[in-house]
Amino acid sequence: MASQASQATATTPPPPPPPPRRRRLSITALLNSPSSTPSTPSTVIAKRAKKHDLTRDQRIGIKALHDFGHTYEEISQKTGYSNRQIQTAVNGPVTPQKHRQHHNLLTIKTPDRRRLKEWLQSGRNRYIPICRLRYHLPPPLNNHGDVALNRALQGLGGRSVFRPRRIPLTDQQKAARKAWSIRQLELRPRPVHWEFVLFSDETWAKADFIWKQRAILFDDEDPENIPDFAVKKRSKMTTTALQRTGIPVLRFPAYAPDLAPIENLWPWLKAWMEDNFDIQAMGSQELRPVIQAAWDAIPGDLLLRLAHSMPERLQKCIQKEGNYIDY
C-alpha cells in the first residue's frame, strides 16, 4: 500500500508556474536608462520676448502716420515699433475690445444713432470708408463693430455711393450748355484753333484700382448741397496762377465734363500707371513721382486728337439741345 501511494505521488505532474508580474513603466526610468544609440545634446529653444502692447495714443499716432502716406518701414524706423505692431495698430481697433457675450452688441441704440449721423455729416467724415469707420469714431461710438455700424446706417437710410460723374441737368443748364457751344463754335470752328487752348482739370489719385472716392449719403440729403460732393470743383491754385500770368480764362458752363477733352486723358493716365507700377502697395508720397512719370509719358498725338475733337463735341451738344453727349 505504501509503495502504491508513493508511486502515484511520483507520477503526479507539477503545478504550472505563476504568470510573470507586469512591471509599471516609469517615464523617469526610461529617460534615465542607457540607450544603445548615442545621446544627442539637448537643444534649448529660446523663446522670443513678447512686445509690449501699444497704448491708445500710440496706435492713433501710427494710424496718423500711415494715413499721411508713410510706409511700415518708415514708421518702424521713426518709432522703433515692429512691423507686426504697426500692422496691428493700422488694421485693428484703437482700443482693444473685450469679447462680451451680450446679444445687443449688434444693435446701436437711438441716441448713439443720432450721434453717428451728426458725426458723419460734419466735416469730411462721410468720405471715410465704412470698413475703417470704427477706427475713426469718437468714444463711445468706437465700441461698436462693423456689423452694428452697417445695421445702424441702413436704419438711418445711409448708403455708400460713388461721387457722381453726371448729375441730371435742368432746363436752364441745358440752355446754357447749348448757348456756350454755339458761341465757341463760332469763335473756333476748326480743330486747329483748339491747339492754343489750355485745358485744366483735377482728379483723384489713390493707391486703389477703383480710382473713385465714396461717400456716405442719407435719404434725406440732397447731393447738390453737400460740400465737395457735387461735380463743381475749381482749383484755387490754378485760378491764382492764371490771374498772376494774365492768361485769359475760357469759362466752361456748369456740369460740362463731356465737353472737356482732358476728361478723356485720365483713363489713359491711370491705365499707364497700373500697367507699369504696383500702385496698390504705394503710399501718397510714393505715388507722386509715379504720377509725374505717367504725365511725362503721355504721347503728343493723343493730346492733339483730344484737342481736335472740340468742334465735334460742340456740334453734338447743339444737336442734343444741351444734353450730355457720349464722348
- Residue pLDDT, tens place only, 36-89: 444 444 444 444 445 567 888 888 888 888 888 888 888 888 888 888 888 888
| pLDDT tier, 263 (very low <50, low <70, confident <90, very high otherwise) | confident
Taking the C-alpha atoms of residue 137 and residue 121, their distance in angstroms, rounded to an integer, is: 13
Choice among 51-65, 178-192, 214-228, 239-253 with the minimum mean pLDDT: 214-228
> Which set of grid coordinates corresponds to residue 159?
448708403
Mean pLDDT of 181-200: 91
Burial per residue of 43-74, b for 16 or more beta-carbon CB atoms within 10 angstroms, e otherwise = eeeeeeeeeeebeeebbbbbbebbeeebbbee
pLDDT, tens only, 5-51: 444 444 566 666 666 555 454 444 434 444 444 444 444 444 444 55
Residue predicted with more confidence, 107 or 32: 107
Whole-number Cα distances in Å, 275 to 210, 211, 262, 303: 14, 14, 21, 20
- What does the chain come to in residues? 327
> Cα dihedral angle (164, 327, 176, 231), rounded to 10 degrees?
20
pLDDT at 124 over 60: yes
Beta bridge partners of 158: 218
> Which set of grid coordinates corresponds to residue 101?
457675450
Q: pTM for the complete prediction?
A: 0.49
Report DSSP letters for 235-301, one per residue: -HHHHHHHHHHTPPP-PPPSS-GGG-GGGGHHHHHHHHHHHHS-GGG--HHHHHHHHHHHHHT--HH
Residue predicted with more confidence, 58 or 284: 58
Q: Which amino acid is at 277?
A: F
Q: Yes or no: say if 296 and 163 are a contact pair by the CB < 8 Å rule.
A: no
